[in-house]
Homo-oligomer: A and B are copies of this chain.
């Protein structure tokens, strides 16, 4: 689960309670129920560990090397999720210490092959930036164009030209003015926008 917070791309990790890899950090996850859809399982596990639901979720890859879990053969069907920054109140179901957001460049050593999973998810996310509107999934219900630009700049880790960025984004026709202005300091307030189809990730170009 990715989010953007404190001007950084962050990732949710949980601290393992039991063996193996006790006390190490790991990706949230768990076992599939016998009559459960794969995606439903991912959503359930995420909600159980974080209380968050209704976020963008996409199947990433299935990992199944024979010895990736020391106990027994485990196949992991992995998903990644994107959460808008205004919805990351965790703690509905878990206590503070064992679930935490980590900046992507400050990930501690992880249990199992979870670092590899993160690397793949990050690459996928970066790739999708170029040809989809996936970045919109990080935005709260309403936002300004400057806020959106900041999100893009964090994701690509570089600067963008304000005029060109606005031209490109508005040409996508994916957002519309929500009406009203956002006041955030002693300067001109910004127009507020919203997604036309909040659930939808479009492929562009």
Asked whether, in the complex, the Cβ of A64 is within 8 Å of the Cβ of B127, the reply is: no
The listed residue with most B CB atoms (<10 A of its CB), out of A66, A75, A131, is A66
Q: Which of A43-90 contact B (CB under 8 A)?
A: 59, 61-66, 73, 75, 77
Contacts of A36 in B (CB 8 A): 66
Q: Indicate if A178 sits at the interface (CB-CB under 8 A).
A: no
Q: How large is the interface on A (under 10, 10 to 19, 20 to 34, 35 or more residues)?
A: 10 to 19
Q: Indicate if A34 sits at the interface (CB-CB under 8 A).
A: yes
Q: Indicate if A154 sits at the interface (CB-CB under 8 A).
A: no
Given contacts A75-B77, A127-B203, contact A37 B65 (CB under 8 A): yes
Q: Indicate if A32 sits at the interface (CB-CB under 8 A).
A: yes
Q: Indicate if A155 sits at the interface (CB-CB under 8 A).
A: no
Q: Indicate if A38 sits at the interface (CB-CB under 8 A).
A: yes
Residues of A with Cβ closer than 8 Å to B? Answer: 32, 34-38, 59, 61-66, 73, 75, 77, 127, 131, 203
